[in-house]
Chain A
Amino acid sequence: MQELLKQSSNPEILKPLLQAVKEKAAEFISLYGRKPAFMEVCGSHTMALAKSGVKQALREDVSLISGPGCPVCVTDQHSIDSMIALAEGDGRIICTFGDMMKVPGSRQSLMDAKINGKDIRVVYSPVDSIRIAEENPGKEVIFLGIGFETTIPILAILVEEAYKKGLGNFSIWMTTKLVEPILRHLLNCGDVMLDGFLLPGHVSIVLGEEAYSFLPEEYNIGGVISGFEPAELLSGIYKLLDIAITKDTRIINDHPSVVTKSGNVVAKQLMEKYFSLCDEAWRGIGSIPSSGLSIRREFDQFDAKKKFKVDPGEPKKTKCRCGEVIRGLINPTDCVLFGKACNPMKPVGPCMVSAEGSCAAYYQYMRECN
């Protein structure tokens, strides 16, 4: 199996595969007189495309537009400021994914708050925060729950564990996001012209292939569910080109080794049990109805938003254009701040700080080299 997995980055496969994609793209271009445009919905795809060099290699052949799938980047400034304000309170331990630490708030980041003496802990596995709550009965332990559908079921496990153990000092600050509502929003706005979506392999593990049937059925646009290794990315793009050329608009599951038709039933049930739909504010877009999940009323005691009063004030205004980047309207390099006032050491917006943010991916991997 290990050998099998390695094939996805085997240069002997990659180079001819790349050639195949280039030829397919040429076919599209000769048919339509323009480059095909696909959106990679997922931030990890943005990162993987840039890191492996797929995006650079296809610069002349396919425009790959980064979508709204980086959970850190789509979190709006007010939410970011609220989480930081939450961390500033006394007697609290904030547990977070490392991704959130350097995200710039209007006044400071979580990293700054930690340097200033606040107890903020980076965890790899969210269930560690349950252990931390048990070990610190005198403190309020709050997990910052960001993420899309891959991560949300894991947050549901937290609520379940805390409930079973009767933890009185544990809660989650939820700012989760869902894939379907944001895709619908983008398509309804219609300000990005797309020939198809490269769909997120890991989110699809939970959601299943069927979750995307609304794309061809309601919007007449196709998509390919793809993995993250170079060969998987190339194969996914190849199939997107095929759909676009044949006009056989549909969803192809190109990651069938882990993605099934209906997804992970246990994960979906857990989400349903503990969470219900809520409106969520998206950076640069505003509130989208029913685009996130919050903790059900029965489990209020684990909802940090109900438990703690936080007033972060008005977010500081900047020239950051993350919102437009997230919607695929502009490239990171179109923002005047990019690479100058905004860089990974001094990020202005979250897209520059998150490892899978479009701006960070551009800064790290896509800047012109000659």
Chain B
Amino acid sequence: MCVGVPAKVIEKQEFSALVDVMGSRTTVGIIFVPEVEVGEYVIVHAGQAMSIIDEEYAKESVEEWRKLTDARTS
């Protein structure tokens, strides 16, 4: 339905933020995530940050995959 890309917040203004996607930079709106802080990652869709990526959950997902795969390789 929608292309969404993880991007790191580099600078924050009131309604917008400069974000970095693996070295490419663009300004996105942050109306939907006003609480976002510099250094955090967001999902960008059509020029707007839609959600802040929760690092703890991201870690948990990776650990879960590893558990599934470790169970198979051991």
User: Mask for A174-211, Cβ within 8 A of B = 1, else 0?
Assistant: 00000000000000000000000000111101100000
Interface size counted on chain A using CB atoms at 8 A? 53
Complex Cα gap A318–B69 (Å): 48
Collect the chain A residues with CB atoms within 8 Å of residue B29's CB: 125, 127, 154, 157
Cβ of A150 and Cβ of B4 under 8 Å apart?
Answer: yes
Main secondary structure of the interface of B (DSSP, over half): mixed
Collect the chain A residues with CB atoms within 8 Å of residue B69's CB: 12-13, 16-17, 20
Nearest Cβ on chain B to A127's Cβ, whole angstroms:
6
Range for the number of chain B residues in contact with chain A:
35 or more
Chain B, Cβ-Cβ closest to A264: B32
Collect the chain A residues with CB atoms within 8 Å of residue B32's CB: 153, 264, 266-267
A-B contacts counted at CB < 8 A amount to 135
Complex Cα gap A125–B58 (Å): 27
Complex Cα gap A201–B73 (Å): 29
Cβ of B47 and Cβ of A202 under 8 Å apart?
Answer: no
Query: Counting CB contacts under 8 A, is B25 at the interface?
Result: no
Q: Which of A54-62, A251-259, A336-344 contacts B (4 or more CB under 8 A)?
A: A251-259
Query: Counting CB contacts under 8 A, is A44 at the interface?
Result: yes
Choice from A42, A256, A270 contacting B1 with Cβ under 8 Å: A42
Cβ of B51 and Cβ of A205 under 8 Å apart?
Answer: yes
Cβ of A257 and Cβ of B68 under 8 Å apart?
Answer: no
Cβ of B47 and Cβ of A264 under 8 Å apart?
Answer: no
Collect the chain A residues with CB atoms within 8 Å of residue B34's CB: 266
Nearest Cβ on chain A to B27's Cβ, whole angstroms:
9
Known: A4-B58, A151-B46. 4 other contacts (CB 8 A): A4-B59, A20-B72, A44-B2, A126-B46
